[in-house]
Amino acid sequence: MSLLAEHETEHPPETPLENTAPTGPTVEVFGIRHHGPGSARSLVAALDAYNPDCVLVEGPPDADALLRFVGDEDLVPPVALLAYAPEEPRVASFWPFAGFSPEWQAIRWARRHDVEVGFCDLPASATLAPRERTLLDEADDAPDDETADAEDDVDGPSAVDLLLSGPAATGPDAAARRRLASRDPLAALAQAGGYDDAERWWEDVVEGRLDGSSPFPLVLEAMGELRRLVGQRRGRHAENEARREAYMRQTIRAALKRGRTRVAVVCGAWHAPVLTAPLGPAAPDARLLRGLPKRKVVCTWVPWTHRRLAAASGYGAGITSPGWYAHLFEAPDVPVTRWLTAVAGELRTRDLPVSSASVIEAVRLAETLATLRGRPLAGLSEVTDATRAVLCDGDELALRYVTERLVVGERLGDVPASVPTVPLEADLVATTRRLRLKREPAARALDLDLRRGIDRERSQLFHRLRLLDLGWAQPATSDVQATGTFRETWRLAWQPELAVSVVEAAVWGTTVESAATARVESVVAGQSLVELARTVERCLLAALPDALARLLEACADQAARDADVEHLMEALPALARAARYGDVRGTDTGALRQTAEVLVRRTCAGLGRATTGLDDESAVRVRDLVDAVHAAVGLLAQEGDGDVRREWLATLRGLADRRDLAPLLQGRLTRLLVDAELVDDAPARLHRALSYGSPAATKAAWVEGFFTDGAVLLVHDPALRTLLDGWVSSLADAEFVDVLPLVRRTFGTFSPAQRRSLAQRLAHGDPVPASAAADRLTALAGPALATVETILAAGRHD
């Protein structure tokens, strides 16, 4: 029998406590568990019975003005109160509420009955205030083992031992359970009731109550006894807890002083015993709160998610199954049947066959398990076991999908536009509504066709948000096979903490466009040429013409001062892409193209110096830069500017025959010239590179430079293939072992289909040309065709 069940036997619910006529103002304290649907349901019934004229809820009083929005049809939980310091928005804190949170239901009850309601916990201005580190903080930082050892050294039985006397206090892990109980009151009560899981104990005792009686008097008595036995806590946490409870008592006194006669206090169950009447003198509480540090804060409502309510997200008051608790609150009748029906529907969306008969069998199994385990109702563990065994056929992957989608859930709340917020957030909300974009916590891919006006504006919005470090949308790879620069794919996932990022970004402007422009202009000074070029590209994608003009000036100035050829080569691709992208967006990129052309000419002038005396690692880096510049020059040449491309190719042709050039670069430049049809003696060059007198590693480097991504050359040019095959075959054993990694790396750039085709050519030779094959087939079929012609002629003659 559980602890609360024992108390129910001693004090039956029909005791007419509520019929006692109060002689003066009364205070009723309802100790709840945060985000407990059973607590919420029982609390609403208790408030109906008590009918208070003032409701005080655990939360920051700074946000009292926001309670007027509770009850608005557009304020849909889960939501959270956000309090932040306007001068330092990253200093912020959230107070989340779900639809099944008792605090939320208490506020709704007060608003529905037109009863005064307010928060009574320590203000956010105090909790977010900076504090100096003291010895109390060092006490909080002490390892748990040391604290536990100190507690175990006390003479006589400990408080937890007294509470947990019996079988639950014995065993090899008794000390660990005692430490857990001292930190988690619910765990202590669960162990006292014979449970090893506090979640299951609370679900059975409170969430699954069927008799309709109020659990709050019993919870209050149990918590009072637990606090008496555990005793005074130490450290900064204990000091903060004492201040919180002192502030709550002061708030209750203030409500009574205002003439309220029936005050309901809704708070965490642990705090309930110290808030009940009589409250005692106010002087000690006033002394404890004197000198409390404060700072200016701003409060607002922001959307929240069920996933952020989960304990796995790191939320201190989190629960393991927000989606399940929401279901219990919203579907109190036949919850198991409704839940497993929803599970079946979710699995069917994944093309998993789930019949109605399977749902019926799963319901029966869950109820049978609850009976065997002595539980009043089938809980989450029972429906999970039934789901695994019947609906998922033991498939843990399918069960994990159900857990993520339903047990935890991805529900996102909503906040009305009338809630006060920073102007940037208001503009972002209006923009997303106009562009038909919905904030969703579940990640989803969005393919954009930039030829459509709405998709082009969406792309600009996403790029502006990235400039502001708002990670709602991230570039992604599309599953749709498409080419061209008119397509973009984004991955969208809205997380509640982005609300703080929006507040931080609000210092740059009141709209997304103005904020992004100001942010870009603020980072121009001190950036390198490469960083400026990348910012130019992002700025062009975001359609910020004012910031782009200043960026181009800064980029041109930095390019004129930067003499490092590698820096010029790194900056060029971004500028070329930006110039080419302007054709799709309809943006004038004349100045940008001129800057890119200047960088090409400066690169051509300094490339010879940059490729002299390179070691192997530097050669690889310069090879990659040459490839990037070659692609960038190709983009610029698409606009009809052939002079830049001719100048670049002439530079490569002059460098390719240099004897002091690194073999990797020599092979790569030769390959680029072959692709440009400026070299027609590729077999002869390969023959020279593979001739005797050069180390095997040097030959392999030349081959790597020439044949990387060059499978087509080997497949269709027998001379090149024969030379390469002969060189590999002529290698001695020691040389073969040395060059094998380099050759494997080269052939690793070929696709599987290209490697198969190349292997077939090496094994069977080149296929017979189509015309020769046709002639051969005609010759073989000649006699047969002549016989058929003779037969047909005889038939016609008859």
Helix (H, G, I), strand (E, B) or coil at 640: coil
pTM: 0.68
Give pLDDT, residue 797: 56
Contacts of 127 (CB under 8 A, 6+ apart): 60, 93
Contacts of 650 (CB under 8 A, 6+ apart): 604
Calculate the alpha carbon distances from 777 to 499, 760, 768, 785, 790 in Å: 74, 23, 12, 12, 20
Q: CA nearest 533: which of 507, 500, 561, 556?
A: 556
CA distance 362 to 368: 10
Give pLDDT, residue 156: 41
Give pLDDT, residue 711: 66
Contacts of 597 (CB under 8 A, 6+ apart): 636, 641, 644
CA distance 682 to 702: 12
Give pLDDT, residue 703: 78
Residue with tokens 């494997």: 744
Q: 679-687: long-range contacts at Cβ-Cβ below 8 A with a sequence spacing of 24 or more?
A: 679/653, 682/713, 682/717, 682/720, 683/717, 683/719, 683/720, 683/723, 686/720, 686/723, 686/724, 687/723
Give pLDDT, residue 13: 39
On whether the CB atoms of residues 63 and 312 are closer than 8 A, the answer is: no
Contacts of 421 (CB under 8 A, 6+ apart): 300
For residue 541, which phi and psi values (nearest 5 degrees)?
-65, -30
pLDDT per 10-residue tile (average), the chain, 798 residues: 38 40 76 83 91 95 94 91 87 89 94 95 90 48 40 40 43 51 66 69 66 78 79 66 92 93 92 88 91 90 85 59 86 87 90 90 92 82 91 90 86 88 89 91 87 90 92 80 70 87 87 90 76 82 83 78 81 78 57 79 85 84 88 76 80 83 85 81 75 74 76 68 72 74 72 75 61 60 76 65
Tokens linked to 260: 């309220």
Give pLDDT, residue 606: 85
Calculate the alpha carbon distances from 725 to 130, 675, 719, 758 in Å: 72, 22, 10, 11
Give pLDDT, residue 541: 84
Bridge-based pairing of strands 116-119 and 444-449 is: unpaired
CA distance 201 to 376: 11
Contacts of 568 (CB under 8 A, 6+ apart): 529, 559, 562, 599, 602, 603, 606
CA distance 344 to 391: 7
